[in-house]
Amino acid sequence: MITIDLEDEKKEILRRYRRLLRKAKPFLKDGDAKIIKKAFNTSMEAHKEMRRRTGEPYIYHPLQVAIIAIDEIGLGTTSIVAALLHDVVEDTDMELSDIERDFGSKVAKIIDGLTKIAGVFEMGTSAQAENFRKMLITLSDDVRVILIKLADRLHNMRTLSSMPQNKQLKVASETIYIYAPLAHRLGLYAIKSELEDLYLKYTESEQYQEISAKIIETKDARDKFVNRFIRPIKKELKDQKFDFEIKGRTKSIYSIWNKMRKQNIPFEEVYDLFAIRIIMDSEHESEKADCWKVYSIVTDFYQPNPDRLRDWISTPRANGYESLHTTVMSSPGQWVEVQIRTNRMDDIAEKGYAAHWKYKDNKDSSASGLEQWIEKVREMLEQSDGTAIEFVDDFRSNLFQEEVFVFTPKGELKTLPHGATALDFAFDIHTEVGAHCLGAKVNQRLVPLNYILKNGDQVEVLTSKKQKPNEDWLRFVVSSKARSKIKEALKEERKAAASEGKEIVKRKLRQMKLQLNNETVEQLRAYFDERTVLDFYFKVGKGMIDAKEIKKFKEVRSLIPKDPKERIEDAQSFEKKITKLRKQQTDMLLIGEDMDVIDYKLAKCCNPIPGDEVFGFVTVNEGIKVHRTSCPNAAELLSNYGYRVVKAKWSSQMDNAFLAELKIVGTDRVGLINDVTSIISGELKINMRSMTIATDQGIFEGRITLYVQDTGHLEVMIRKLQKVKGVVKVTRIDDVK
């Protein structure tokens, strides 16, 4: 049993608290020390009975988070107070109202954003995603919420060794999925790199240790090389009276591992193991000129690679990062990356968003990039009406990737996500411009809506009042604004069609002398096998369900026994009776011990379809994913994460489905087969028996054999396939082989 010396602990707590005050001292104003002391005492009292898994007093954690907030992010007094108190509402009896009373509404709001949502979450939702969305809602008002959360996560990752392995994997996975990209987006490169390295330490520990050992082994040789490389540059910079420092910076373990994995090469073949960083003291007005002067000096001694010049001074990254990067050939024949920046740029590169406030008076143009990013987050929050998991996926795909820089016809610079199309650009200009976009002129050349923009493109949008959004647009837009506006327009169109459908149903029921009430409508929905009443009305309005078919519903309804004991009062029991009468069962996935019908996603690594042997896997951020038992990842998932595996099976194995064969003709293009199969298997969940495609001089012809429930099912699929870009004709073949 470990004995705890309480006196020693008290001294250590005091020592850490004084260290915090020392670090905060340079920017403390009158009364700040008093507020910090009050927050420290409140946190001490609230956490006094608590200990971390390491056995240490819990107060060590908020103290360390506050130190990271000052030292590694550069935050001020309000953030220190919030960091010291960040866990008290979640873990102790203190209420948010107590915080607001004692420390004001700003601190209370930050802590609210940092406090996890309590309660039971519905199946198919993710507590992590819900909490992340809540945190971002507060971010749109106060970015310090995210910055303190990153400090909290960094300290948790630094002390993760005390956790059991399953908890380590969970925390590490969340970190690499959300928090490391978020640190990158806010310009906190040092924190981002450390989070990635720590992720690797707990998920691929052997590779982590191996790369770490090799970096230490090669340190002496690397230092000698760096000294030899920088000697002539150093001399010339001194001669030209520059005030500077030069650092040799080794790549992070994670980025080396990533490169080895992606390029399938050993450690010894990673040529850019390190970068040389030249940081100079420069007046704000002459920063750009000074950086290019230093670039000129470097390239006087070493030949640059013209394809590897990155000018983030003229056009800073969206997270505010500014630097000039070049890759040059050294005398032993080795490529070396050289990064040139000023002290201000280096401060922003290390401390990201927080460092901008220091330089805002200088009319720092790069700060606007981050402001625009926060504005995008606000926009996403306002537009998001999907699930939290969809929101997180959307957030990551839109805001955690590189940008593309394009220009309007008047020369205004627009920043869009990498992979953005002409249609994304149109929606970025204005919702109405996007909604009526026909195509675009890029660099004076006509291009289609799905043209992928490249850096430097000048784009002019072409519109027509007759044009309106369609579902196909969702297949190639990448920005959250375009996606949400298209979905909004489609929803409105869907409502209008559903309203028309409702009127048609009303008339038909009147003719059949049936009442339009909830019971009848729910029974109609069940009869036509639609997920919701709105789906049923929509399909009637669009003519996908023929109004004549409603007459057949009356015939089926009349076959149901009139015995009062067996009266059909709800759609569920009606559905059972219809299934019995039809002597067939639609395919659905049953999940869990009780074999319930619940929300799930099909895993893209194996694309299961009805009839496959499957299992459900409870993911960290995306609910339940269904994999085939023969999936290439099945062995790893089942052996490593057995506790997250749930039973799953199809309720029928397509015994009563009918075989049909289609002939499909069109012009060949890359990705066409993928688009066709994703509609059949992914969107419509139809089981294919075979598929043959032959191409001749850019024209393709294919035959697809598949299982369908009825002709209505087949017609829906034919209509969807005809909308695929490149498909000219889809016809049914009567003689299925």
Q: Would you call 531 exposed, middle or buried from its count of C-beta atoms within 10 A (0-12, 13-18, 19+)?
A: exposed
Q: Residue 387's domain is classified under what CATH number?
A: 3.10.20.30
Mean pLDDT value across residues 480-504: 82
Average pLDDT of the residues in 563-587: 48
Do 70 and 10 lie in one domain? The reply is yes
At 695 the three-state DSSP class reads strand
Same domain as 27, residue 151: yes
Task: Judge whether 377 and 163 are in contact, CB under 8 Å.
Answer: no
Cα–Cα dist 700/705, whole Å = 17
Are 665 and 610 within one domain?
A: no
Residues 44 and 163 in one domain: yes
Among 218, 238, 220, 319, which residue's Cα sits nearest to residue 278?
Answer: 238
- In this predicted structure, the answer to whether residue 185 has a pLDDT above a threshold of 60 is yes
* Residue 485 backbone class (left: φ over 0; alpha: ψ -120 to 50; beta: rest): alpha
* Within a domain: 483: no
pLDDT-wise least confident of 246-250, 502-506, 556-560 = 556-560
Tell me, yes or no, whether 352 and 303 share the same domain.
yes
* Catalytic residue of the set 9, 12, 71, 91: 91
Q: What value does the mean pLDDT take over residues 565-593?
A: 50
Instruction: Identify whether residues 75 and 91 lie together within a single domain.
Output: yes
Average pLDDT over residues 516-527: 75
Both 685 and 555 in one domain: the answer is: no
Q: Are strands 601-602 and 624-628 parallel, antiparallel or unpaired?
A: parallel
Active-site residue identified among 90, 385, 390, 519 = 90
- Among the ranges given (259-263, 412-416, 515-519, 591-595), the one the predictor scored with the smallest mean pLDDT: 591-595
Indicate if 56 belongs to the active site.
no
Q: Residue 223 falls within a domain, yes or no?
A: yes
- Tell me if 179 is assigned to some domain: yes
Same domain, 236 and 108: no
Question: CA 667, 671, 676, 681: dihedral to nearest 10 degrees?
Answer: 170
89 shares its domain with 52: yes
334-380 pLDDT, tens digit per residue, is 888 999 999 888 888 877 766 655 555 444 444 455 566 666 666 66
Q: What is the DSSP letter of 532?
A: S
Same domain, 345 and 202: no
pTM of the model: 0.60
Q: Is the pLDDT of residue 433 over 60?
A: yes
Within-domain flag for 87: yes
Q: What is the predicted pLDDT for the residue at 194?
A: 92
What's the CATH number where 75 sits?
1.10.3210.10
Whether 613 maps to a domain, the answer reads yes
User: Domain of 607?
Assistant: 589-650
Rounded to a whole number, what is the largest CA-CA distance in the chain? 104
CATH of the domain at 292: 3.30.460.10
Cα–Cα–Cα angle for 103, 107, 112, nearest 5°?
120
Q: What percent of the chain has pLDDT over 70?
A: 76
pLDDT score for 365: 44
Is 179 found in the same domain as 49?
yes
Domain end (from 599, 626, 650): 650
My answer on whether 171 and 310 are in the same domain is no
- Within 8 A by CB and 6+ apart from 30, the residues are none
* Polymer length of the chain: 737
- How many domains are there within the chain? 6
593 flagged as catalytic: no
Confidence band, pLDDT 50/70/90 cuts, at residue 636: low
- Which of 194, 211, 228 terminates a domain? The answer is 211
Domain boundary among 211, 246, 270: 211
Looking at residue 340, what is its pLDDT?
Answer: 93
Is residue 498 assigned to a domain? yes
User: SS3 of 248, please?
Assistant: strand
In a domain, 276, yes or no: yes
User: For the chain, what is the mean pLDDT?
Assistant: 77
The verdict on residue 479 lying in a domain is: no
